[in-house]
């Protein structure tokens, strides 16, 4: 309406489990542009190839795990937000200890909580962008 | 009358002259050098004649003879001198011996390892050093009243006897990890090396280290043995090493439990995450009938995945209740190959069989062998995503049946090799990481082993070794032969398994694998 037309935020969802990608797709596709990756290597390639606002990644994936992925990307794109998912709490603690800017989600999770977390992170980001 | 007196007088004079002469000669010769006197041979005899005139013209002659055999006497003196010298030598020797005994004592007492000398036939302790008294808590006297077995922990005695007998029989140095039981009851980890020391036994009973007779309170070896044989046991205190090893093992176990737990969390958490998410989406409502069906089907398949995992875990932890029978190895290989070769991914793989004839026979549960082989075939196929050759061989030697599965695939990375048999370790996106673990467990149960050879970019060979007969290898087969009706072992070791068994999870059938293809 004459206002600034904000482009939809783009989220990369990396998980080696089809159903996890699917459910995240179902709940996020209405509000966000989604890119999917089946493993860490594919995720890395896609993040490098195009602009992404947030990365939602599983911890345990073939080739490159979620934590390694975050480390690699943080150097290249420090402004990017990350949400790390795992079914194993120790993985998440390890990630937390490694870097403070990572948000973690333990599987199984409440979809609404994840959606709220993503909304909050992207809102922060859009404020920083102005 | 005159003439009658002449003979005795002459005899007496001669006798006296001889005595004086011989004494003079002795005087000179004794003061000569022994080497000279040695050449002088002389013999002087003195005779004393006494004529006694009896009445009636009878004459009785009494004769006394005194003689010196100079040579004889000199010989005696010489011997005496030699004895003196010998005595001196002996004293010196005793002194040296005492000195060397002192040194020997000092040396063995200062040794950082316990040293025990053990009589070879009776296993009686003959001597022990200070460290031995420290490690056992017994005094030297107490030690020498004991047999070597008395020092070991009850459970280790058999092992100790084997070492002792081996050393005794072969004469070679033997080593063994054993435990002393200290007088105060604590266990002392030691590493024992045993060797034989032989001493030539001389008639005086010498030849042993000096002082053993005085010192040891033990009855000695049978004197009939010509060589005195002793087993020397050097016992190194390895408590610290063992402690560290135990700590390491414990840490390893904890790490492995940690890996196991994380594996389970991951394997259960992921499908549970999907199930929960689909259910939440369904609860939100608003989905189409097609979507509803899709979500429910996903919930169903993810639940099955958790069930599948449980089934694998059950296989992993429970002993078999199946009957073991003689199984034709080539036949099982054929069956397993038939099951997997129908799969899509085997279309690009060339199968080669090199089977031993006549077919090797092993005592095993054939379904379990099939499970192991299918596992290896599937792994081989996964290692060759772009096709290749899979070679299956069977072979035997006097002890084992070998079944090898060789692929021309990507090989195993060196860093992955040691984790190959770790539960939940997988390099496959959809893998659970239990296939090899369960296979190895199954094979181990039959006294076998799975060997792996792998070259990156060349391929891998997994070889299953199964013993031809457990009895021949000295393996107690009693724990394996569990009859279906006798399942008491289940309730002892796995209290929960009996209940779980009621669930339709057990037994891999041919249908399972066909469904996968």
CA distance A2 to chain B (A): 32
Question: With pLDDT > 70 as the criterion, what percentage of chain B qualifies?
Answer: 69
Is the CB of residue B52 less than 8 Å from the CB of residue B62?
yes
Structural domain span for residue A40: 10-129
Q: What is the 8-class DSSP label of residue B319? A: P
Q: How confident is the model at residue B204 (pLDDT cuts 50, 70, 90)?
A: very low
Say what the ipTM of the complex is: 0.82
- CATH code of the domain occupying B243-315: 1.10.287.130
- Taking each helix axis from N to C terminus, what angle separates B70-110 and B2-31, rounded to the nearest 10 degrees? 30
Q: Which of A25-34, A84-93, B14-23, B285-294 has the lowest mean pLDDT?
A: B14-23
Which whole number is the average pLDDT over B126-147? 91
Domain boundaries, chain B: 2-68, 111-237, 243-315, 322-492+504-516
Higher pLDDT, B318 or B194: B194
Q: What is the pLDDT of residue B377?
A: 92
Q: DSSP letter string over A46-65?
A: HHHHS--SEEEEESS-SSS-
Which whole number is the average pLDDT over B376-384? 90
- The verdict on residue A3 lying in a domain is no
Q: State how beta strands A33-37 and A10-14 pair.
A: parallel
- Domain range B111-237, CATH architecture: 2-Layer Sandwich (3.30)
CATH of the domain at A26: 3.40.50.2300
- The verdict on residue A112 lying in a domain is yes
Q: What is the pLDDT of residue B471?
A: 53
Q: Which of B129-138, B353-362, B484-493 has the lowest mean pLDDT?
A: B484-493
User: Within a 10 A sphere around the Cβ of B457, how many other Cβ atoms?
Assistant: 8
Q: How confident is the model at residue B102 (pLDDT cuts 50, 70, 90)?
A: confident
- Closest listed residue to residue B454, CA positions, set B403, B402, B416, B401: B416
- The verdict on residue A27 lying in a domain is yes
Q: Tell me whether residues B274 and A26 touch, CB distance under 8 A.
A: no
- The verdict on residue A5 lying in a domain is no
- The verdict on residue A100 lying in a domain is yes
- For residue B45, pLDDT over 50 is answered with yes
Report the residue of chain A nearest B299, measured CA to CA.
A19
**B110 CB-near residues (< 8 Å, 6+ apart):** B130
Q: Which residues of B touch A19 (CB under 8 A)?
A: 271, 274, 277-278, 298, 301-302
- For residue B84, pLDDT over 80 is answered with yes
> Cα separations (Å) of B58 from B2, B48, B469?
17, 20, 113
Q: What is the 8-class DSSP label of residue B147? A: B
User: What value does the mean pLDDT of chain A take?
Assistant: 84
Higher pLDDT, A5 or B12: B12
Q: How confident is the model at residue B272 (pLDDT cuts 50, 70, 90)?
A: very high
- For residue B50, pLDDT over 90 is answered with no
- For residue B511, pLDDT over 70 is answered with no
Which of A99-103, B73-77, B108-112, B502-506 ranks highest by mean pLDDT?
A: B108-112
The number of helix segments (H) and strand segments (E) in chain A equals 5, 5
Q: Which residues of A touch B258 (CB under 8 A)?
A: 90
- CATH code of the domain occupying B322-492+504-516: 3.30.565.10
Q: Which tens digit of pLDDT belongs to each residue from B162-187?
A: 889 888 888 888 888 899 999 888 88
In this structure, is the dihedral angle defined by the CA atoms of residues B216, B218, B224 and B226, taken in order, positive or negative?
negative
Q: Which residues of B touch A13 (CB under 8 A)?
A: none
Higher pLDDT, A23 or B262: A23
Q: What is the pLDDT of residue B206?
A: 44
Q: What is the pLDDT of residue B516?
A: 34
Q: What is the total count of domains within chain A?
A: 1
Which of B7-16, B174-183, B342-351 ranks highest by mean pLDDT?
A: B174-183
Report the residue of chain A nearest B261, measured CA to CA.
A88
Q: What is the pLDDT of residue A55?
A: 93
Q: What is the pLDDT of residue B261?
A: 74
Q: Tell me whether residues A110 and B278 touch, CB distance under 8 A.
A: no
Alpha helices for B137-206 (secondary structure H): 140-144, 157-170
Name the token pair of A33: 């542009």
- Closest listed residue to residue B393, CA positions, set B402, B385, B384: B402
Q: What is the pLDDT of residue B344?
A: 77
């Amino acid at each position: 309406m004459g206002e600034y037309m904000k482009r939809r935020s783009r989220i990369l969802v990396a998980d080696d489990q089809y159903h996890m990608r699917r459910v995240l797709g179902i709940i996020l596709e209405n509000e966000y542009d989604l890119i999917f990756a089946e493993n860490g290597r594919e995720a890395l390639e896609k993040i490098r190839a195009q602009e992404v606002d947030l990365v939602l990644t599983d911890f345990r994936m073939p080739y490159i795990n979620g934590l390694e992925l975050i480390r690699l990307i943080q150097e290249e794109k420090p402004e990017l937000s990350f949400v790390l998912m795992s079914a194993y709490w120790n993985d998440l603690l390890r990630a937390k200890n490694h870097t403070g800017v990572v948000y973690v989600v333990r599987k199984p999770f409440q979809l609404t909580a994840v959606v709220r977390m993503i909304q909050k992170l992207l809102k922060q980001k859009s404020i920083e962008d102005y | 009358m005159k003439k009658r007196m002449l003979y005795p007088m002459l005899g007496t004079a001669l006798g006296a002259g001889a005595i004086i002469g011989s004494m003079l000669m002795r005087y000179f010769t004794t003061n000569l050098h022994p080497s000279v006197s040695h050449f002088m041979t002389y013999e002087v005899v003195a005779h004393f004649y006494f004529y006694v005139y009896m009445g009636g013209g009878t004459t009785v002659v009494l004769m006394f003879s005194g003689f010196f055999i100079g040579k004889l006497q000199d010989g005696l003196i010489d011997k005496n001198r030699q004895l003196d010298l010998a005595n001196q030598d002996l004293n010196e020797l005793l002194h040296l011996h005492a000195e060397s005994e002192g040194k020997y004592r000092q040396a063995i007492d200062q040794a950082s390892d316990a040293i025990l000398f053990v009589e070879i036939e009776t296993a009686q302790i003959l001597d022990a050093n200070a460290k031995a008294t420290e490690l056992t808590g017994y005094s030297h006297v107490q030690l020498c009243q004991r047999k070597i077995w008395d020092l070991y922990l009850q459970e280790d005695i058999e092992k100790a006897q084997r070492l002792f007998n081996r050393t005794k029989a072969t004469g070679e140095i033997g080593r063994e990890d054993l435990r002393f039981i200290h007088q105060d009851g604590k266990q002392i980890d030691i590493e024992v090396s045993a060797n034989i020391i032989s001493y030539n036994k001389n008639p005086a009973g010498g030849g042993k280290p000096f002082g053993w007779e005085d010192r040891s309170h033990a009855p000695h070896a049978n004197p009939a043995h010509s060589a005195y044989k002793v087993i020397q046991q050097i016992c190194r205190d390895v408590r610290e090493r063992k402690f560290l090893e135990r700590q390491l093992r414990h840490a390893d176990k904890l790490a492995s439990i940690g890996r196991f737990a994380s594996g389970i969390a991951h394997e259960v958490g992921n499908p549970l995450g999907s199930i929960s998410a689909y259910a939440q989406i369904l609860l939100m409502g608003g989905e189409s009938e097609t979507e509803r069906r899709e979500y429910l089907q996903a919930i169903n398949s993810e639940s099955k995945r958790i069930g599948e995992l449980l089934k694998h875990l059950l296989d992993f932890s429970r002993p078999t209740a199946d009957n073991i029978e003689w199984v034709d190895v080539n036949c099982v290989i054929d069956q397993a190959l038939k099951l997997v070769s129908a799969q899509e991914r085997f279309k690009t793989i060339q199968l080669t069989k090199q089977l031993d004839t006549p077919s090797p026979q092993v005592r095993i549960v054939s379904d379990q062998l099939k499970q192991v082989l299918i596992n290896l075939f599937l792994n081989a196929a996964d290692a060759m995503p772009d096709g290749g050759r899979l070679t299956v061989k069977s072979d035997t030697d006097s002890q084992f049946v070998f079944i090898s599965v060789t692929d021309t695939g990507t090989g195993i990375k060196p860093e992955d090799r040691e984790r190959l048999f770790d539960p939940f370790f997988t390099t496959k996106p959809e893998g659970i990481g239990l296939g090899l673990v369960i296979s190895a467990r199954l094979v181990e149960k039959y006294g076998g082993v799975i060997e792996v050879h792998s070259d990156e970019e060349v391929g891998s060979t997994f070889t299953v070794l199964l013993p031809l007969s457990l009895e021949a290898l000295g393996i107690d087969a009693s724990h394996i032969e569990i009859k279906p009706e006798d399942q008491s072992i289940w309730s002892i070791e796995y209290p929960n398994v009996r209940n779980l068994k009621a669930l339709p999870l057990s037994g891999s059938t041919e249908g399972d694998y066909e469904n996968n293809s």
